[in-house]
Homo-oligomer: A and B are copies of this chain.
C-alpha cells in the first residue's frame, strides 16, 4: 500500500500538471449545471468542451485527455450518444468519469448505466445512494438497499463502502463517494477526505462539477489520484469559501476563486486518512 506521503506527492503532481498542461476533458453533462462544470474545470486549469451529438462526442472523446459523462438531464439523442461515447472511450483506453446521478429514473438512463458496466469507467462519482444503486444494477453487491430521492442521497457514505470497493474492483479504476466525509477507493485502499461545507448542498452542481474536475485530473494522473485530488480540492475550496461567504451566492463565487488560487500543497494537505480494504 502506498504511504500517505506518496499519495500526497501524487496529488501535488496532479494539481500542477493540470495547471501546466491545460488538459482538455470533454463532457456530456446535464444542462442544469453545465456552466458550473465548465467553469470549475477551467478554474483548476483544465479545458472544457460539451457536446450532445454522437459524431461530436466521438470526435471529442478521441481528442481529449479524458472525458466526463454525467447522466442527469437526459435528452432523446443520448440514447445514441452515451453508449457510443463510452464504447469509444473504453476501446481507446481514454480515462473517463461516470456520474450516475438520478440512477433508477427513466429508461434511457437505466439502459446506459447497465451498458456502462462493460465500458468500465475509470472513475465513478456519486453520493452514497447512487453508488449503492449502481453496484446493485451491475449485480456486484446485493446486500445493501439504495435510497435515491431524485438527486439527493438518503444514505450515509459508510453504507456505500462495500459497493464502492466492489465497483472499483470491477472497473480497475476508482470510486468517489461524496458525503459528510468523502470516500475514495481503488478497491485496495480507501481514503477518507474531510472538509467542504454545508453550503455545497445549497448550490446546484457541486457534485456534477466535482465529476468534471475529476476528469480533468484523470487526464494527468491515475484514477485513484485523480479522484482523490478532485475530492481534496473540493473539500479545501469548499471550507475556505464558506469562511468568506455570506450565503450560497457568494459561496459559488468564492469557491471558484479558491479552486483557482489554492496551492498544490494545500490540496495535498487537506485532511485525509487511508485504510486498507
- A interface residues with partner B (beta carbon < 8 Å): 24, 26, 30-36, 38-39, 42-43, 47-53, 55-56, 59-60, 63-64, 73-77, 102, 105-109, 149-152, 201-205, 245-250, 252-261
Across-interface contacts of A49 in B (CB, < 8 A): 102, 150-151
Across-interface contacts of A31 in B (CB, < 8 A): 31, 34, 50
Q: How far is the CB of A257 from chain B (nearest CB, A)?
A: 3
A39 close to B260 (CB less than 8 A): no
Q: How far is the CB of A156 from chain B (nearest CB, A)?
A: 17
Q: How far is the CA of A259 from the CA of B251 in the complex (A)?
A: 13
Q: How far is the CA of A36 from the CA of B18 in the complex (A)?
A: 25
The 8 A-B residue pairs with the shortest CB-CB distance in the complex, in nearest-first order: A247-B257, A249-B256, A38-B204, A249-B253, A56-B106, A49-B150, A247-B260, A249-B257
Across-interface contacts of A48 in B (CB, < 8 A): 32, 151, 204
Q: How far is the CA of A205 from the CA of B52 in the complex (A)?
A: 18
Q: Which residue of B lies closest to A55 (CB)?
A: B106
B248 close to A256 (CB less than 8 A): yes
Across-interface contacts of A26 in B (CB, < 8 A): 150
Q: Contacts A59-B105, A75-B77, A202-B260 given: A39-B150 contact, CB under 8 Å?
A: no
A108 close to B63 (CB less than 8 A): no
B32 close to A52 (CB less than 8 A): no
Which of A30, A51, A77 is the most central at the interface, judged by chain B CB atoms within 10 Å of its CB?
A51
Q: Can you show 21 pairs from A to B with CB atoms below 8 A apart?
A: A24-B150, A24-B152, A31-B50, A33-B38, A39-B252, A43-B248, A48-B151, A49-B151, A51-B73, A51-B74, A56-B102, A56-B106, A59-B105, A64-B150, A76-B77, A246-B257, A246-B261, A247-B257, A248-B256, A249-B260, A252-B256
